[in-house]
Structure 1
Amino acid sequence: MNQQIDAQLRDLRAELEPGDATPALVAAVAAGRAPLGALAELAARQQRIITSDRRSLLLLATRCANRPLGSWFATLAEGESAALRTLPALAAACGTILDRTADHPPLPDHQSPSDQPPLPRHPPLPGCQAYPAYLAWLALNGLPAAVAAALVANFAAWGGYCAAIAEGLRRHHGFDDAACAFFDFFAQPATALEQQAAAALAPAALGSAELAAAREYGTLLQAYERLFWETLAALPTG
């Protein structure tokens, strides 16, 4: 592993670390104060986010298909697919059903209304779509190496939130492993992915332009993730 790359990623993670600012919804779930309706909304929003993020990661993989970084992005996309499969069990435990057509456009106008897919139960919310919209922008316009570094920097914070939620759901709501599988998946240590990212970015270190871009990307990704949690916390779920 390139030690300089490893040090750059570690420094970037520390720089972007959100610290003790745990999102209010995460803290509420961990303490058993969040209604299940809030978790149902989270599952529905994650269905849209993951479907979008998977495509963005695959696009990034194609942009550097002949480099090791392409395989790394493809591995992340495979992880998104695995996480997506765990969402129905979470939604069911929260007493809701996911939108089967959330990722598909309406049928052409010439087809009969009976052929139209049902309206989504959970229409998209701007505050929850900011993160995947920005990742889609990065997939088209970002420097792939800088995008990879920014994503690595965000792994620990997101994983910590998921671990806290999984523990809270088991302790306060009696959720089983299937219902917690989504959060368990992301709560796993991302050490291997981080090491793979460092190896894929080697042998050259990140240049000054790429590091500056990674800071910019990471700062915005963190801000949009906070907006996601704040939007969910503000929703009426009673």
Structure 2
Amino acid sequence: MKVIETLRRELEPLNREIAEALRPSREALLSFVANQLYIVPHDLKALSAAMAKAGERDEYRFVKTLIDGDFAALEALRELAEELGVEFRWESVDPAAVAYTHFLSWLAMHGTVGDLAVAMTVNLPVWGRNCAALAEWARRNGVKNTKFMEMFAGPYDELEALAEPIAERYLDWGRYRFVARAIQRYELEFWRAVSGGPGEGPPGA
């Protein structure tokens, strides 16, 4: 069984918790944007630093794909923030919500490209599903600039095709299981932090 597929199966219970943690509301959307204004620029800088770890052609392509995605996302996020009247404010940053980006910085400094490949490919589809659900709620409630959330909906087949051989190249099951579990725990904390109150519950629930 492939590395990414194996880890994803092991994470199924945690990934269900992440899906259930999203409770859409106006307050949740505003908190989502306020914290993403901190997260996305720091993710972009962490990924740029991670490029220094790349050595093989597929590793450069993998990291460059991530950087390009976050660069485009930053502009879309600014458009959403402008529509909602959200500006970056330090007092709006929830430490629990932004722990994810701090872990990504740790990976960039102390991890291998294999660690990054594992972290991103187990995380992004799960993050993307919640973003798509939040975008659906936002559109129903009159928000126009939902591109930031929609662009993470996937598919991630091409990224995963790049990631799998990289993960196999640096294979370390104990380390990979820690990295995968950690990044998904931080993902869960993000959604719990921004959702706060009861909201409406997951769409379709």
TM-score band, normalised by shorter chain: 0.7 to 0.9
Q: CA-to-partner distance for each residue in 1:159-194, whole Å, 9 max, x for gaps? A: 1111111111122x0223xx1101110012111111
Whole-angstrom distance in 1 between the partners of 2:115 and 2:62: 13
Q: Which moved more, 1:224-233 or 1:132-141?
A: 224-233
Alignment-mate amino acid for residue 89 of structure 1:
E
Q: Structure 1 residues 230, 80: CA separation in 2 closer, same or farther (over 3 Å shift)?
A: same
Which residue does 2:109 correspond to in 1? 140
Equivalent residues of 1:147, 1:214 under 8 A apart: no
2:179 is aligned with 1:217: yes
Equivalent residues of 1:57, 1:77 under 8 A apart: yes
Q: Which moved more, 1:211-220 or 1:59-68?
A: 59-68
Equivalent positions of 1:59-74 (< 5 A) are: 59-74=49-64
2:163 is aligned with 1:174: no
TM-score, with structure 2 as normaliser: 0.85
Alignment-mate amino acid for residue 193 of structure 2:
T
Residue 68 of structure 1: how far off its partner (Å)? 2.1
Equivalent residues of 1:47, 1:87 under 8 A apart: yes
Tell me the matched-pair count. Answer: 198
Equivalent positions of 1:18-97 (< 5 A) are: 18-23=14-19, 26=22, 28-29=23-24, 34=25, 36-94=26-84, 96-97=85-86
2:105 is aligned with 1:163: no
Alignment-mate amino acid for residue 53 of structure 1:
D
2:34 is aligned with 1:15: no
Whole-angstrom distance in 2 between the partners of 1:231 and 1:12: 25
Moved segments of 4+, more than 4 Å: 22-25
Instruction: Classify the secondary structure of the residue corresponding to 1:157.
Output: helix
Instruction: Classify the secondary structure of the residue corresponding to 1:160.
Output: helix
Alignment-mate amino acid for residue 77 of structure 1:
I
Name the one with the larger helix percent: 2
Instruction: Report the RMSD for the aligned CA atoms in angstroms.
Output: 2.4
Q: Structure 1 residues 191, 151: CA separation in 2 closer, same or farther (over 3 Å shift)?
A: same
Instruction: Classify the secondary structure of the residue corresponding to 2:86.
Output: coil
Alignment-mate amino acid for residue 142 of structure 2:
G
Identity of aligned residues (%): 29
Tell me which structure has the larger Cα radius of gyration: 1
Residue 150 of structure 1: how far off its partner (Å)? 2.2
